[in-house]
Amino acid sequence: MRSSVRLATATAAAALLIGCVSGPAASEPEPSKKAAGEKVLVFSKTAGFRHDSIPTGVATVKELGAANGFAVDATEDAGAFTAANLAQYDAVVWLSTTGDVLNAAQQTAFEQYIRGGGAYVGVHAAADTEYDWPFYGGLAGAYFQSHPAIQPAKVHVEDHAHPATAHLGTGSWDRTDEWYNYRVNPRDRARVLATLDESSYMGGTMSGDHPIAWCQNYEGGRSFYTGGGHTKESYAEPAFRQHLLGGIRWAVGAAQADCRPEKGYTPIFDGTASSLQGWKQAGPGSLQLNEGDGTLKTVGGMGMLWYDRRELGSYSLKLDWRMRGDDNSGIFVGFPPSDDPWSAVNNGYEIQIDATDVPEKTTGSVYGFRSADLKKRDQALNPPGQWNTYEIRVEGERLRVYLNGVKVNDFTNTDPARSLRQGHIGIQNHGDADEVTFRNIRLKDLPAKGRPTRPGRPGKDQAGTAHSGQDGLDGLGKVRPGKAVPMSDVTAHHSDSPAPTTGSGAGR
């Protein structure tokens, strides 16, 4: 039941690991980590146009539940929307609902459910529902405005870490559906997962920025919406079924993702070889590019791939990462330019990925200096084999770490030799036995907080001016052994309805 806190999955994931973040969030709800046995309600009442794909959609959600460990009930009875009844469900899927489907009391019950930590999954015409209920409009993210005829289009994936889109490659997702235009763009309040390429079809009216799937944390609950699912055929497409499943899994808390709005980031690695021109390998090993899925995989080590195009001051760095199993890597920040990876160890800070070490050296920690909030970390962390997202936010000497949208560390540097006010960033390839994959590395500059003041630092300031100094390479630490359609065809409505330690050790 949603009303009880389930930590079995978190415990199991932690046992497995041990045995083998735009701007700051407006709110940071505790992440939900569910055990097997989630329960989902599919609601498909219509008071306007009725899609003939609804029975197929309901059957699909039931099939996905049977194959993935969650129970599914289905109803078109709005009487199911009572506080007592909704309490048994981890998410409610609004499957192509249309028009006004709930009365005032039922709306209140659903609002209380969401504010109490419940979840909403909207599919297709869920955006054509309850236009006079502001809470619902905010929850869904955007209302339907119009649509052209059913036709093929190209879908561009923006978020490759969310379970609803992580299975999709770097190329366009080509599929046929009825493509909605929306009254507003949800980008300012939701994390856009995928957009439509309006040049690939006829009838798009959103000026080239056309979200078609998104997620958000909303007033204490979770919300996922996808504009796909008009046609019966959609529910036979493996990629669309996985898309829908991933949205449900995130909504019920079986998988974690960063669903805060994201704007203003510039890709510095986008999965292409050309985007690596601003990077250099320091030390042994490498990171291997796979342009098919847009990833970099660690090979050998100990080395580091670092971004040498410019030093950074105040910034937000976001990247997605995945471990194969009990593997090791980290992200370095605030170090001077050098072809020696140990310069980063001794002059900067590492944000750890490996979850198997002591608190100040585990996932989310500032390695060797400050542990992550382990309770929040354990709840926010996806297990090996699944993608995670870091936001590493540096402002002045303050360093914050967000894991899948949840703040797990807040550290302030006091060592002039490790000043965070200027420096480079890099990703570690740890050793032969370690396999960690990265993708979608993006950067956003933030307002500067003072001038760089690190003494004895070589490198460049933000304007690129060289200044002299000497590296301090005073300890290599130890390596863990053994880890080797036309506009006239656009329909205005549906056609049928209106503790610190010293940091001299090697980064893990």
The whole-number pLDDT of residue 2 equals: 41
Is pLDDT of 491 > 50? no
3-state helix, strand, coil in the chain (%, to 5): 20, 30, 50
pLDDT tens digits for range 47-83: 999 999 999 999 999 999 999 999 999 999 999 999 9
pLDDT-derived band of residue 495, with 50, 70 and 90 as boundaries?
Answer: very low
For a pLDDT cut of 90, what percent of the chain falls above it?
A: 77
E-assigned strand segments in 238-335: 266-269, 279-282, 286-290, 295-299, 303-307, 315-323, 330-335
SS3 330: strand
pLDDT tens digits for range 352-398: 998 887 888 999 999 999 999 999 999 999 999 999 999 999 999 99
Name the least confident of 158-162, 189-193, 474-478: 474-478
Average pLDDT over residues 207-215: 97
Give every CB contact of residue 208 below 8 A, 6+ residues apart in sequence: 198
The whole-number pLDDT of residue 450 equals: 55
pLDDT-derived band of residue 36, with 50, 70 and 90 as boundaries?
Answer: low
The whole-number pLDDT of residue 501 equals: 33
Closest CA to 446 of 403, 400, 396: 396
- For residue 58 the two structure tokens come to 């309901």
Average pLDDT over residues 106-131: 98
Average pLDDT over residues 119-144: 98
The whole-number pLDDT of residue 449 equals: 65
Give every CB contact of residue 273 below 8 A, 6+ residues apart in sequence: 289, 291
Average pLDDT over residues 226-237: 98
The whole-number pLDDT of residue 31 equals: 52
Average pLDDT over residues 451-477: 34
Report the mean per-residue pLDDT for the chain.
Answer: 85
The whole-number pLDDT of residue 13 equals: 35
Is pLDDT of 20 > 50? no
Average pLDDT over residues 452-466: 39
pLDDT-derived band of residue 482, with 50, 70 and 90 as boundaries?
Answer: very low
Which amino acid is located at 194 in the chain?
A
Is pLDDT of 343 > 80? yes
DSSP element (H, E) containing 262: none
Is pLDDT of 311 > 90? yes
